């Protein structure tokens, strides 16, 4: 049973998106059933408190090696106004997005266009390097949270960005040193960072960043492991 929530206090478009059907999985990432995005993110009264479902996180780098960040729109129901990686969302329970890594790639391409206005031809599927999976649990507030099997992708591409204001409040490119400074000063500057972004940066990103230019990303990938936090 989920907690009671008054959806009328939220943005109409974000409420509509909460009707999308996510992929509920077990701890081995085996699909179990479809469930609404709303029910996947609403806290429940039974442990662990949130349904485990598939997600993806994209880290898009410019040709000169800077990382594109976004600040989530204030209209977002979970983690509004938080800074995060380039794009993070969910594969859906549709034929084209059910197939593990390939399905997550297609979902990532779809959401890069939806959230950031990046045309699909600028981010072809074969350019998404799958790195690994992260299984994590994190609260947004007393009502909403995340319990995700997160597929992590890196892509290096020259893109045009035209963010949807209902999804993205701001964007910026950062160098590795600028990202380290952001993390070091976020608390004192009153900047909020999404939990999955923090987990991925602190555990993996800097060592992957070092492999962007030497062709070593594929060698650095760990596609068969599910990292549990």
189 is catalytic: no
Q: Which of 97, 115, 146, 148 is catalytic?
A: 148
SS (H, E, C) the chain: CECCCCHHHCCHHHHHHCCCEEEEECCCCCEEEEEEHHHHHECECCCCCCCCEEEEEEEEECCCCCEEEEEECCCCCCCCCCEECCEEECCECCHHHCCHHHHHHHHHHHHHHHHHCCCHHHCCHHHCEEEEEEEEEEECCCCEEEEEEEEEEEEECCCCCCCCCCCEEEEEEECHHHHHHHHHHHHHHCCCECHHHHHHHHHHHHHHHCCCCCCCHHHHCCCCCEEEC
Q: Which of 88, 97, 115, 167 is catalytic?
A: 88
115 is catalytic: no
Active site residues: 88, 148
């Amino acid at each position: 049973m989920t907690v009671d929530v008054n959806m009328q206090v939220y943005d109409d478009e974000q409420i509509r998106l909460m009707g999308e059907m996510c992929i509920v999985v077990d701890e081995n990432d085996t699909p179990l059933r479809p469930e609404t995005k709303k029910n996947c993110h609403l806290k429940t009264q039974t442990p662990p408190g949130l349904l485990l479902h598939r997600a993806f996180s994209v880290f898009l780098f410019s040709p000169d090696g800077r990382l594109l960040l976004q600040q989530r729109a204030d209209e977002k129901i979970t983690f509004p106004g938080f800074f995060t990686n380039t794009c993070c969302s969910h594969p859906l329970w549709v034929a084209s997005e059910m197939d593990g890594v390939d399905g997550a790639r297609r979902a990532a391409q779809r959401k890069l266009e939806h959230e950031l206005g990046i045309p699909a031809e600028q981010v072809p599927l074969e350019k998404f390097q799958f790195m690994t999976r992260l299984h994590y649990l994190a609260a947004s507030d007393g009502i909403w949270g995340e319990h995700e099997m997160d597929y992590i992708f890196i892509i290096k591409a020259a893109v045009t960005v035209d963010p949807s204001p209902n999804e993205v409040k701001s964007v910026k490119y950062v160098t590795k040193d600028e990202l380290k400074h952001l993390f070091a000063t976020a608390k004192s500057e009153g900047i909020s960072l999404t939990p999955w972004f923090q987990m991925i940066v602190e555990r993996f990103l800097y060592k992957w960043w070092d492999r962007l230019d030497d062709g070593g990303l594929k060698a650095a990938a760990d596609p068969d492991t599910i990292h549990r936090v």
